[in-house]
Amino acid sequence: MQATDPDLNPLFEPLQLGALTLPNRVLMAPLTRNRARPDGTPGELAETYYRQRAGAGLIVSEATQISPMGKGYKDTPGIHDDAHIEGWKTITDAVHEAGGRIAMQLWHVGRISHTSLLPDGAQPVSSTAKRAKTQTFTEEGFQDVSEPRALGTDEISGIVEDYVRAAANAIRAGFDMVEVHGANGYLIDQFLQDGVNDRTDAYGGDAEGRTRFLVEVVKAVAEEVGADRTGLRLSPTGHFNDMNDSDPETTFGLAYDRLSPLGLAYLHVVELFPGLDVPAEEQAILARLRERWTGRYIANGDFSAGQAAEWIGEGRADAVAFGRAYIANPDLAERFARGASLNEPDQSTFYGGGAEGYTDYPSLED
């Protein structure tokens, strides 16, 4: 595919991403939509929703919990039992029939949860017992998250096993690869950042200890499904969900250094934040960190088509993942190529509901 605007042609160059050959570099970012059934099986409209977006170079699915204890929001999907596998199989089949490729994002929310969402009203688990200053989406609407309990050292290997089992289930469900969600203040991030992780065992303290859980998870998942079918998402300068780190360049630099040799399919990094100005120092940190990653690099955030093409053309990223634009424009890559106008997303329908704001956005053909 060639763009009508030659400046956008970098978006439409093929890309070898691990085991996959992508026809373009316009990727669909993971987007929580809260439309799964209460048991975690994908909702009836999800097959249509994902099939509509199969023109993306790669779809990364909405974040999907690896276990019942990994859930943090109402009506989000799981990948921890046979019903989930069967539900997702209809979706991956639909995407493949439409010529697309799809990765599953594996998610454990950690402390960003509420007892009403967890088995038998259990406390959320985390690296810490500190409650996050944020809210989550429950049957009663938005509520303050519950106080977590810190995982015991002897419990952590079981969480790693949950990631491995979920990754294997995703491949059984027909996904082309998996993405480990280590960003945005969820469980892995809660171990990484020293503003949250107050542990004194082998999984806390200095950056070596705080990156241990991340490295164990990613290594184990890569061994299970193949490094060339394993991606990772991180947000080194993100503060979402009450996160902070005193020295993100050291923390995430060590993570990049430890994981680069594994030969992962890609690293997916939140670079820009919709509606927020990223301070110059944070931009500089991200740029220096980018130089330390030796594999494929996907940038994510508040990118325009022109900015994405510029980054790819300059070698700052191999591809760019688009979020909100893909909510409202199922044929986003084609719209970029043809220089067409974009539909505006309706934020009131982002989370929960039915077809409105989910599968009813018009394509160019419509």
Asked whether residue 366 is domain-assigned, the answer is: no
Contacts of 356 (CB under 8 A, 6+ apart): 349
Asked whether residue 107 is domain-assigned, the answer is: yes
**Residue 329 to residues 28, 92, 231, 334: CA-CA distances in angstroms?**
11, 20, 25, 10
48 pLDDT higher than 80: yes
pLDDT number for residue 86: 98
pLDDT number for residue 210: 98
Q: How many CB atoms lie within 10 A of CB 143?
A: 14
* 319: nearest Cα among 20, 47, 4, 91: 20
Kindly state the percentage of the chain with pLDDT values over 70: 99
Task: Say how far apart CA 108 and CA 48 lie, in whole Å.
Answer: 26
Give the 3-state secondary structure of residue 226: coil
Q: At what angle do helices 248-259 and 280-292 cross, to 10 degrees?
A: 20
Task: Say how far apart CA 119 and CA 124 lie, in whole Å.
Answer: 10
249 pLDDT higher than 90: yes
The answer to whether the CB of 76 falls within 8 A of the CB of 61 is: no
125 pLDDT higher than 80: yes
Domain that holds residue 109: 6-349
Q: For residue 283, which phi and psi values (nearest 5 degrees)?
A: -60, -40
Nearest-Å Rg of the Cα atoms of the chain is 19
Asked whether residue 76 is domain-assigned, the answer is: yes
> What is the DSSP code string of 145-199?
PPPPEEPPGGGHHHHHHHHHHHHHHHHHTT-SEEEEE--TTSHHHHHH-TTT---
15-29 pLDDT, tens digit each: 999 999 999 999 999
The answer to whether the CB of 194 falls within 8 A of the CB of 255 is: no
Mean pLDDT across the chain: 96
pLDDT band at residue 275 using 50, 70 and 90 as cut-offs: low
Token pair of 353 as six digits: 């509901």
Asked whether residue 89 is domain-assigned, the answer is: yes
Asked whether residue 268 is domain-assigned, the answer is: yes
92 pLDDT higher than 70: yes
Q: What is the mean pLDDT of residues 143-168?
A: 98
Contacts of 315 (CB under 8 A, 6+ apart): none
Please tell me the total count of domains within the chain. Answer: 1
Which residues are designated catalytic? 186
276 pLDDT higher than 70: no
* 180: nearest Cα among 131, 220, 124, 122: 220
Task: Say how far apart CA 74 and CA 51 lie, in whole Å.
Answer: 24
* 21: nearest Cα among 51, 59, 58, 55: 58
272 pLDDT higher than 80: no
Length of the chain: 366
pLDDT number for residue 1: 74
pLDDT number for residue 3: 84
Asked whether residue 215 is domain-assigned, the answer is: yes
**Total-model pTM:** 0.97
pLDDT band at residue 253 using 50, 70 and 90 as cut-offs: very high
Instruction: Show the 3-state SS of 120-139.
Output: HHCCCEECCCCCCCCEEEEC
Asked whether residue 169 is domain-assigned, the answer is: yes
Q: What is the mean pLDDT of residues 127-146?
A: 96
End-to-end CA distance of the chain: 21
CATH number of the CATH domain containing 122: 3.20.20.70
Contacts of 279 (CB under 8 A, 6+ apart): none
User: Scanning the structure block, which residue is given the tokens 């491949």?
Assistant: 171
Asked whether residue 358 is domain-assigned, the answer is: no
